[in-house]
Amino acid sequence: MKKNAFYAQSGGVTSVINATAAALILETKKHKSKIGKVFAGKNGILGALREELIDTSKESLSAIKSLKNRPGGAFGSCRVKLKSLDENKKEYQRLVEVFKAHDIGYFFYNGGNDSADTAHKVSQISKKLGYPISCIAIPKTVDNDLAITDCCPGFGSAAKYIATSTLEASLDVASMSATSTKVFILEVMGRNAGWMAASSALARSKKNDAPHIILLPEVIFNQKKFLNRVKKIVELHGYCVVVSSEGVKNNKGKFLAESESKDAFGHVQLGGVAPYLGSLISNKLKLKNHWAVSDYLQRSARHIASKTDLLHAEAVGIHAVRYAIKGMNGVMPVIIRGKSPKYSWKIKPAPLSKIANVEKKLPKSFISKNGFDVTNKCIDYLKPLIVGEAYPKYRVGVPSVIELKLIEVRKKLTPWIS
Amino acid sequence: MKKNAFYAQSGGVTSVINATAAALILETKKHKSKIGKVFAGKNGILGALREELIDTSKESLSAIKSLKNRPGGAFGSCRVKLKSLDENKKEYQRLVEVFKAHDIGYFFYNGGNDSADTAHKVSQISKKLGYPISCIAIPKTVDNDLAITDCCPGFGSAAKYIATSTLEASLDVASMSATSTKVFILEVMGRNAGWMAASSALARSKKNDAPHIILLPEVIFNQKKFLNRVKKIVELHGYCVVVSSEGVKNNKGKFLAESESKDAFGHVQLGGVAPYLGSLISNKLKLKNHWAVSDYLQRSARHIASKTDLLHAEAVGIHAVRYAIKGMNGVMPVIIRGKSPKYSWKIKPAPLSKIANVEKKLPKSFISKNGFDVTNKCIDYLKPLIVGEAYPKYRVGVPSVIELKLIEVRKKLTPWIS
């Protein structure tokens, strides 16, 4: 029986999430007897609730293919978490209403742990509300903190950006250090998991190369030890490169950036571990420093995407469709790494119940004894994920972005009031 | 008569300054009857004063060629400005002593306005101290603020980085804006000149595209007008992208970032226009925002260098050698733009007296009437400078960096005490 599909993007976007979308849409075209149109939710699950469904069949084939090179979420993402079916049945009834109205039998939700939770809840519609649906969550997060999957699409590209940026900025500061900047600090994302900060270690090609200190959210920040280490490294090498996760906390469990700094208005300044550390180093060590916060730049840097990551992103999109037409429900296509030293991977389905709301942090064996670095085991894990380049096309010096039409399906229902 | 050459890098480095070094060294090999060895100063002019001369003839040809792909200053740079010959004759006498000891007849100094000043002073050695030398300054600065030359090597690549990053981050924030971040702020370098901030305008492919507001150091910051504009743009487009120069000042002539903010220690926090603006927007407009400060990342981003910029960087290195062997002194090879609409350029010599210490800011005709944008004339100027890609080689996912031997010439003189 032929049914339409709903696809939506959720949570923080990545540089390759649209590659997943493109691969998914193209794969559905190979299964025309089972899947009709793909409706993309405008702004994630909100698109389903509000009946704002973008008809991807109105886009040209070349526009769909070009999504592969476009960072951000082409259909709009959202930070919305559905309550449980028991707590807010109305929302799920609305979903069923919209699915029925548009003959939707497949639900694809592309996101991180929160989104896996949403997808897991939606997957219960079949049993609890008696509306048959194949609900597949598709992994995506630069934080790399999803359970079961070996890695998350989006992470490899962000990691490649961080490793490359750390390498490049290190060469810069190294050349300035004789008479100017001694310490350079790069703040990276990753929330409570240190995967992104850890990936800066890939900048090294030999011992003592930058980064010299990696601050992970898994390790409680010790100001004295940190400053001693910075001082020692500057004495030894002439300069010091620090990569810090945004999520680093002090021994009271508070984020560094919100622990002491106040802004011009007397409000606690959120974000900004790097300026916090910079000011610490200026004041306590009197060392000239520079700091960078790459923020959205790191997760949208399609221009330096990892080819391996891009292949992962496409593969999970393709497998999501294959699982759906097999009638699977409440699963996620995850990446399984082969056991031989040469990197290999395949995609397998995993139950959402084991993925939703679980946060995978750096294991202890990946963190060095002194807490300021990662181990070789961690580097061996990370290395293959950033291999390969996958440049976008450029037009007059900047990456070419093809505009989508984003034509919405005519609404059939009364407006949704949440 | 065959003489050795001295080459040094000065001031803030760029992603293509080593491409100039490579081109210069390779060009000298074509003029073996006139130029012997090229000694690179370790850390700029300090290398000459301290007699720390790196013998580039000890490097393999492939190592020299690989410099083209290496950001930062391979021989070390410095932030040191020589006093005038009348004020501090001893320094110049020391230079002559070192030049004599190592048979140096050519002096190449690769830097910005301060460095052009140093080179200009050194060029007076011939007349004032009777030591014949060809002194050529070679342009380099991401700030693009050198006089006479149409643009500065290093700028085009930084501009390409900024335009690309603005484009990518804008696609990210656009997709999040329905339920999350409404304003994204990117802080860029450029000191007192707005060239780098202006280059973010190249991210646009149509009207109303991001960036929506460009804050230039040439325009006094007006908080009320700025906040009104941010508010209006968010109402209109759902989100707003701001690119701000680090050098933006208020009506008292103070840098925004140092005007009000204090850090955890009660000290004025330097740097950080972006967090300043972010906190302004949070507090006055209650709009969720994200900010990024790319700092050294933007000027070392060799992975996204502009091919046009790279060609400029090589050409000024080559022409510096040609001018030197012609016996020119106190000049700089500058880039002259052709007058036809199709971009063309050539290199010509210009006197250092007209370049040293002059800071070229954005002309009025390049700034929009409301002060929050650049004009089409500015965009037409900027566009060709970022055209073309020139990717480095990668090794296991990160740009490949070949280590130099950096072997110093045996010292012949007593140590220099400054």
Chain B residues with CB inside 8 Å of A243's CB? none
CA distance B334 to chain A (A): 23
Read off the tokens for B138.
């070679």
Tell me: pLDDT of B265 over 50.
no
**Closest chain A CA to residue B387:** A397
CA distance A46 to chain B (A): 9
Tell me: pLDDT of B30 over 90.
yes
Question: What is the torsional sign of CA A43, A49, A50, A51?
Answer: positive
Tell me: pLDDT of B321 over 70.
yes
Tell me: pLDDT of A197 over 50.
yes
Share of chain A above pLDDT 90, in %: 89
Q: What is the pLDDT of residue B357?
A: 87
Three-class secondary structure of residue B9 per DSSP: strand
**Closest chain A CA to residue B269:** A279
Whole-angstrom distance, CA of residue A312 vs CA of residue A289:
38
Confidence tier at B41 by pLDDT (50, 70, 90): very high
Chain B residues with CB inside 8 Å of A299's CB? 172
Are A315 and A333 in contact by the 8 Å Cβ rule? The answer is yes
Are A161 and A115 in contact by the 8 Å Cβ rule? The answer is no
Whole-angstrom distance, CA of residue B173 vs CA of residue B183:
8
Confidence tier at B269 by pLDDT (50, 70, 90): very low
| B117 classed as catalytic | no
Q: Which H, E and C letters describe chain A, residue by residue?
A: CCEEEEEEECCCCCCCHHHHHHHHHHHHCCCCCCEEEEEEECCCHHHHHCCCEEEHHHCCHHHHHHHHHCCCCCCCCCCCCCCCCCCCHHHHHHHHHHHHHCCEEEEEEEECHHHHHHHHHHCCHHHHHCCCCEEEEEECCCCCCCCCCCCCCCHHHHHHHHHHHHHHHHHHHHHHCCCCCCEEEEEECCCCCCHHHHHHHHHCCCCCCCCCEEECCCCCCCHHHHHHHHHHHHHHHCCEEEEEECCCECCCCCEHHHHCCECCCCCECCCCHHHHHHHHHHHHHCCCEEEEECCHHHHHCHHHCEHHHHHHHHHHHHHHHHHHHCCCCCEEEEEEECCCCCCCEEEEEEEHHHCCCCCCCCCHHHECCCCCCECHHHHHHHHHHHCCECCCCEECCEECCCCCCCCECCCCCCCCCC
Question: What long-range pairs does B56-59 form, CB within 8 A, spacing at least 24?
Answer: B56/B7, B56/B25, B58/B405, B58/B407, B59/B404, B59/B405
Tell me: pLDDT of B28 over 90.
yes
Q: In whole angstroms, how large is the CA radius of gyration of chain A?
A: 23
Q: Residue B297: which of A291, A276, A373, A207 has the closest Cα?
A: A291
Residue from A172, A243, A273 to probe the interface with B (highest B Cβ count within 10 Å):
A172
Chain-chain contact of B271 with A275 (C-beta, under 8 angstroms) = yes
Share of chain A above pLDDT 70, in %: 97
Chain A residues with CB inside 8 Å of B66's CB? none
What mean pLDDT is reported for chain B? Answer: 94
Whole-angstrom distance, CA of residue B383 vs CA of residue B406:
38
Which among B174, B202, B267 is the nearest to A397, CB-wise? B202
Chain B residues with CB inside 8 Å of A142's CB? none
Whole-angstrom distance, CA of residue B148 vs CA of residue B135:
18
Chain A residues with CB inside 8 Å of B267's CB? 279, 282-283
CA distance A33 to chain B (A): 32
Domains of chain A, with CATH numbers? 3-142+305-358+389-399 (3.40.50.450), 155-300 (3.40.50.460)
At B338-394, the pLDDT tens digits run 999 999 999 999 999 999 989 999 999 999 999 999 999 999 999 999 999 999 999
Which among B163, B299, B303 is the nearest to A398, CB-wise? B163
CA distance B111 to chain A (A): 13
Chain B residues with CB inside 8 Å of A72's CB? 168, 170-175
At B217-244, the pLDDT tens digits run 999 999 999 999 999 999 999 999 999 9
As beta bridge partners, residue A345 has A337
At A331-381, the pLDDT tens digits run 999 999 999 999 999 999 999 999 998 999 999 999 999 999 999 999 999
**Closest chain A CA to residue B403:** A205
Lowest-pLDDT range of A53-62, A251-260, B162-171, B252-261: B252-261
What letter does residue B1 receive in the DSSP assignment?
Answer: -
* pTM higher than 0.95: yes
Which among B77, B184, B302 is the nearest to A176, CB-wise? B77
Using the structure block, give the residue that is written with the tokens 């990551």. Answer: A309
**Closest chain A CA to residue B270:** A279
Confidence tier at B1 by pLDDT (50, 70, 90): confident
What mean pLDDT is reported for chain A? Answer: 94
Chain A residues with CB inside 8 Å of B276's CB? 263-264
Chain A residues with CB inside 8 Å of B301's CB? 165, 168
CA distance B203 to chain A (A): 7
Chain-chain contact of A164 with B303 (C-beta, under 8 angstroms) = yes
Are A330 and A125 in contact by the 8 Å Cβ rule? The answer is no
Instruction: Count CB pairs under 8 A between chains A and B.
Output: 260
| Active-site annotation holder among A55, A114, A117, A143 | A143
Cis upstream peptide for A217 (omega within 30°): no
Q: What is the pLDDT of residue B271?
A: 57
Chain-chain contact of A300 with B169 (C-beta, under 8 angstroms) = yes
CA distance B347 to chain A (A): 22
Are B317 and B27 in contact by the 8 Å Cβ rule? The answer is yes
Share of chain B above pLDDT 90, in %: 89
Tell me: pLDDT of A271 over 80.
no
Chain-chain contact of B296 with A80 (C-beta, under 8 angstroms) = no
Using CA atoms, how far residue A252 sits from A255, A259, A363, A370, B84, in Å, is: 9, 9, 22, 20, 55
Chain-chain contact of B178 with A76 (C-beta, under 8 angstroms) = yes
| Active-site annotation holder among B55, B114, B117, B143 | B143
Are A120 and A10 in contact by the 8 Å Cβ rule? The answer is no
**Closest chain A CA to residue B288:** A270
Chain-chain contact of A296 with B169 (C-beta, under 8 angstroms) = yes
Tell me: pLDDT of B208 over 70.
yes
At B100-134, the pLDDT tens digits run 999 999 999 999 988 999 999 999 998 899 999 99
| Beta strand residue intervals within B156-287, DSSP E | 183-188, 213-215, 240-245
Question: What is the torsional sign of CA A159, A165, A170, A173?
Answer: negative
Tell me: pLDDT of A263 over 70.
no
Which among B76, B172, B278 is the nearest to A175, CB-wise? B76
